[in-house]
Structure 1
Amino acid sequence: MLLAETHPALLYGVLLGKKMRVKDIASLYHCAEDHVCDVIHAFNKDGLDCLKPNYRGGRPATFSKEERSLIIELAQIPPQTIGFPFSHWSLAKLTQAAMDRGIVTSITAETVQVILNEAHITYQNTKTWKQSNDPEFETKKKTNRIAIQPSAPRWPGYLCG
């Protein structure tokens, strides 16, 4: 497929080269004559540069670069070092921590996910196992595992027959 077949400026130019009138081009492509003229004038003025999209920005960013960088910085701090009982951030916990620390007043987990994705930072689900402060925890855990080990299945003693 030729570029002229996909972009209006080139299409209009090709048709003008074939001595088609603006009115006929507009009716052929179901658009206003003013639009055809604007596209042709832009092509005459800028050449192929008029093919580049003209983005106008859209809605302004809700969070500043500073707020985004603080959220990214917080995401890179292990939660245990700042007093949380879990080993990894979840989106919900990171969102709540950002609001509790006053980085932002309100933010959704989806927005935090977008900010982390833009910074190429991965996140993990929070592990449900929490670490104990008990110094004898490891020995208790090992003894409990031994006590919980299933024993051999017992034969109920019934005879079928």
Structure 2
Amino acid sequence: MKSPFLIHLNPAEQGVLGYRARGSKRPHREVERARIILAAARGEPLARIAAALGVHVDTVRKWCKRFATEGMAGLKDRHRSGRPRVFTAVQVAGIKALACTPPTDRGLPLSRFSTGEIVSLARAEHLVQSISPTTVWRWLDTDAIKPWQHRSWIFPRDPDFALKAGRVLDLYARTWNGQPLGPDDYVVSADEKSQLQALHRRHLSLPPGPGRAERIEFEYSRGGTLAYLAAYDVHRARVAGSIAPSTGIAPFMALAGQVMATEPYASARRVFWVVDNGSSHNRAPPSPG
């Protein structure tokens, strides 16, 4: 089948199409269209071009016709309108308004809405007939400002906060009173986590086998609550920790003694301890008796 379209290439078009046809990293559609036009310009029949490139002959005819009538511009993809919108702008705005509303305003015992809860509420209030949580998440995720999100924050109330924070930041940057720390100076940051549940499984887990995942017993026993105290060497990424029944000055001093009794801190010139203002750090231990 001889092509009904006359394809004539000038040197510039020949060069561009040849470059595209050889491009191993170019999009496949560009390479394919360039090879179709080059073959048609050599006078090859449409059927032979289609067989050589593994495409339908109608595809070859389509691109030959476009090039014959529009030139190089005809090899570009047409603008597509895409799938028509399923939801109106009013519905999208209504969903976002729900996300910005505290659940307590609707008498719900929640701190914030999940996407599934927003879907249920939108259907109950007849905003939409049906919508997926994924669609709601996508709408909310694309917004530049997300008033439905929040995080905890404490505004500094100490009038000397800047001075105190500056000292800590200087230590983290290995500086004290304007002088760099020496090789035998150390900075340790300490804190504790209280009310940790001590749990253990009542039965041993079964190891995985062929075609079977590891099996873990769901029942567990409670061992009460414990506190974990940790001291982190800021510049050497080393952690020393201890466990105590609760937090307090006595467990903290025990941790400090544990750290200071080990090297390199035991023989260090200086060890700077960074702690918060919790009661574990600013009260003297009770006197005996």
TM-score bracket relative to the smaller structure = 0.5 to 0.7
Other-structure match for 1:10:
34
Q: What's the offset of the Cα at 1:53? A: 5.0
AA aligned opposite 1:42: R
C-alpha distance in structure 2 between counterparts of 1:61 and 1:80, whole Å:
33
Indicate the structure with greater helix content: 1
Q: What's the offset of the Cα at 1:96? A: 1.4
Contact 2:66 2:75 survives alignment (8 Å): yes
Change (3 A) 1:53 1:78: farther
Other-structure match for 2:126:
102
Indicate the structure with greater strand content: 2
Other-structure match for 1:40:
64
TM-score, normalization by structure 1: 0.61
AA aligned opposite 1:50: L
State the structure with more CA Rg.
2
Q: What's the offset of the Cα at 1:107? A: 2.3
Contact 1:91 1:112 survives alignment (8 Å): yes
Q: Which runs of 4+ in 1 moved over 6 A?
A: 121-124, 148-151
Deviations 1:35-65 (A, max 9, x none): 211111112333335322553524x333222
AA aligned opposite 1:61: R
Other-structure match for 2:234:
none
Q: Using CA pairs below 8 Å that are at least 6 residues apart, which structure has the higher relative contact order? A: 1
C-alpha distance in structure 2 between counterparts of 1:104 and 1:118, whole Å:
20
Change (3 A) 1:70 1:2: farther
- Structure 2: 5+ residue stretches without partners: 1-17, 23-27, 150-194, 196-223, 227-243, 246-289
- Structure 1: 5+ residue stretches without partners: 125-144, 153-161
AA aligned opposite 2:64: I
